[in-house]
């Protein structure tokens, strides 16, 4: 047993250096050369300023913006330094009450809209940072956004379909709309006539 102590200790240290430093640092170097955009968080730059990440959602509750999915991160929604879901079980009354509150908020913001609400718009995502909503959830909100911005509903719908991503390779995952990118495009659309 004693003669195994040296191999055991040396092995732990050597393999730590190999798999815990050499491997991640080499890949970091390669990533920074070949995929710098992705490796650094897929950041969105506008006029030299970072306005967000294409992969991380933000919180919206004004009628003129499309709303993201509910987020359960603490202490405030879309806290990208503390990811996580609600962890509420399906029979937990807290979950049912939360869904009720979210339904009411959506109805209040858009009183004329009696359509059933897509489930993803009233349930919290797993990461609390989901950048997407379903196309149905975007269509549900289009009228409200158009009204709040004084835009023609069709121009909002066009923008939504422009920002709708299909399944990857037509097969994988689900169709989706990136909320932050859509809202940025909306702001640009509204700002255009003013800036010209």
Partner 1 sequence: MTLHGLLQIALFFGVLLLVTKPLGLYMARVYKGRPPGLSVVLGPLERDIYHLCGMRSEEEMAWKRYAQSLLLFSAFGMAVLYVLLRCQQDLPLNPRHFGSLAPDLAFNTAASYVSNTNWQAYAGESTMSHLSQMAGLTAQDFMSSAATMGALMALIRGLVRRGTTTVGNFWVDLVRSILYILLPLAMVSSLMLISQGAVQSLTGSVFVQWLQPRHGNQPVQDSDGQADRQEGFGASQQVLALGPAATQVIARDLGTSGGGFFSANSAHPFESPTPLSDLLLLLLQTVVAAGLTYTYGKMVGDTRRGWAILSVMLVVLSVGAAITYQAESAGNPRILDLGVDLSITDQQPGGNMEGKEIRFGVAQTALVATATTATSTGAPNGMQDSLSPLGGLVPLVMMQSGEVILGGIGSGLSGMIVLVIIAVFISGLMVGRTPEYLGKKLEPYEIKMASVAILVMPIATLVATAFVLMTETGRDAIANPGPHGLTEVLYGFTSMANNNGSAFGGLNADSLLYNVSGALVMLLGRFWTTIPILALAGSFAAKKIVHISEGALPTHMPLFAVWLMIVTVVVSAMSFFPALALGPIAEHLLMTD
Helix axes 135-149, 179-195, angle to 10 degrees: 20
Q: Which is nearer to partner 1, 46 or 152 (CB)?
A: 46
The helix or strand, by DSSP H or E, that contains position 52, with its residue range, turns out to be strand 49-53
* Strand, coil or helix: 176: strand
Under a CB-based contact definition with an 8 Å cutoff, are residues 57 and 68 in contact?
A: yes
Q: Which is nearer to partner 1, 24 or 162 (CB)?
A: 24
Residue 61 Cβ vs partner 1, minimum distance, rounded to whole Å: 6
Residue 67 Cβ vs partner 1, minimum distance, rounded to whole Å: 10
Residue 5 Cβ vs partner 1, minimum distance, rounded to whole Å: 7
Residue 108 Cβ vs partner 1, minimum distance, rounded to whole Å: 12
Which token pair is 68? Answer: 């993201």
> How would you class 80 by CB atoms within 10 Å of its CB: exposed for 0-12, middle for 13-18, buried for 19 or more?
middle
Whether a cis peptide bond, with omega within 30° of 0, leads into 75 is: yes
Tell me the backbone φ, ψ of residue 67, rounded to 5 degrees.
-85, 145
Residue 196 Cβ vs partner 1, minimum distance, rounded to whole Å: 22
Q: How far is Cα 108 from Cα 62, in angstroms, rounded to an integer?
A: 12
Q: Which is nearer to partner 1, 61 or 153 (CB)?
A: 61
């Amino acid at each position: 047993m004693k003669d195994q102590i040296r191999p055991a200790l040396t092995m732990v240290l050597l393999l730590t250096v190999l798999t815990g430093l050499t491997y991640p640092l080499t890949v970091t170097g390669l990533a920074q050369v070949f995929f710098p955009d992705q490796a650094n968080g897929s950041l969105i730059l506008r006029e030299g300023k970072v306005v967000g990440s294409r992969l991380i959602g933000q919180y919206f509750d004004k009628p003129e913006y499309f709303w993201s999915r509910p987020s359960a991160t603490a202490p405030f929604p879309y806290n990208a330094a503390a990811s996580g879901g609600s962890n509420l079980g399906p029979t937990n009354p807290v979950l049912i009450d939360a869904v009720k509150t979210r339904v009411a908020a959506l109805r209040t913001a858009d009183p004329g809209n009696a359509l059933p609400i897509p489930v993803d718009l009233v349930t919290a995502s797993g990461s609390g940072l989901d950048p997407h909503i379903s196309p149905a959830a975007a269509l549900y909100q289009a009228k409200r956004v158009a009204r709040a911005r004084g835009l023609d509903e069709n121009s909002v719908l066009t923008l939504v379909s422009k920002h709708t991503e299909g399944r990857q390779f037509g097969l994988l995952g689900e169709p989706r709309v990136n909320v932050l990118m859509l809202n940025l495009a909306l702001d640009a659309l509204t700002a255009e006539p003013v800036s010209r």
